[in-house]
């Protein structure tokens, strides 16, 4: 199952805690709302069992960059300050109940980040069949 979400990727962030409440930053909250709208019309029975997820994040370039720099960076690996695992967490949480019941079903993951003029996230979810021992890396100690 492959899907492209034209929502600018945002890394997951920690909740902020005050004396009165707990909340997420506005940018992350807006991302969650946008993803909810993007996945609302998907009529798909969520996979049961283990799944493999391939995630390609196309991160928007800064508006302050020159045209020359944007042209040079287009399509190259993204080297911004955000950790790739936080991008993964944000999208995997957003797809709960859409392609799988819970993101704990994702047992294999491949993720890449690229600079792009058109921000988006390309997601490929594949149901895994029961694997044989020869398919796994087995490490022996001692």
CA distances, 46 to each of 3, 63, 72, 113 (Å): 14, 38, 40, 26
Residue 133 has pLDDT above 60, yes or no: no
* Mean of the per-residue pLDDT values of the chain: 87
Please state the rounded mean pLDDT for residues 34-46: 88
What SS3 state is found at 2? strand
Q: Which fold has domain 2-12+26-34+48-129?
A: 60s Ribosomal Protein L30; Chain: A; (3.30.1330)
Residue 25 has pLDDT above 90, yes or no: no
- pLDDT value of residue 20: 86
Shortest CA distance to 52 belongs to which of 124, 132, 130, 113?
124
What is the percent of the chain where pLDDT is above 70? 91
- pLDDT value of residue 140: 47
- Cα distance between residue 38 and residue 4, in whole Å: 10
Dihedral (Cα; 110, 111, 112, 113), 10-degree rounding = 180
User: Helix H segments across the chain?
Assistant: 26-39, 67-73, 84-94
Residue 13 has pLDDT above 90, yes or no: no
Burial category of 59 from C-beta neighbours within 10 Å (exposed 0-12, middle 13-18, buried 19 and up): buried
Shortest CA distance to 55 belongs to which of 106, 105, 101, 100?
106
- pLDDT value of residue 6: 95
Which pLDDT tens digit goes with each residue over 66-121?
999 999 999 899 988 889 999 999 999 999 989 999 989 999 999 999 999 999 99
- pLDDT value of residue 115: 94
* Predicted confidence band of residue 137 (pLDDT cuts 50, 70, 90): low
| In contact, 110 and 55? CB cutoff 8 Å | yes
Which pLDDT tens digit goes with each residue over 116-132?
999 999 999 999 887 65
CA distances, 35 to each of 11, 63, 92 (Å): 13, 23, 11
More confident call, 43 vs 126: 126
């Amino acid at each position: 199952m492959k899907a492209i979400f034209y929502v600018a990727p945002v890394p997951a962030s920690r909740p902020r805690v005050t004396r009165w409440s707990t909340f997420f930053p506005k940018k992350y909250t807006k991302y969650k709302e946008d993803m909810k709208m993007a996945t609302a019309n998907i009529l798909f029975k969520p996979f049961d069992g283990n799944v493999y997820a391939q995630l390609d994040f196309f991160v928007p370039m800064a508006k302050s960059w020159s045209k020359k720099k944007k042209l040079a960076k287009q399509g190259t690996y993204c080297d911004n300050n955000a950790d790739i695992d936080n991008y993964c967490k944000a999208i995997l949480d957003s797809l709960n109940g859409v392609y799988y019941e819970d993101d704990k079903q994702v047992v294999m993951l491949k993720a890449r980040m690229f600079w792009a003029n058109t921000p988006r996230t390309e997601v490929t979810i594949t149901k895994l069949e029961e694997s044989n021992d020869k398919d796994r890396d087995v490490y022996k100690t001692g």
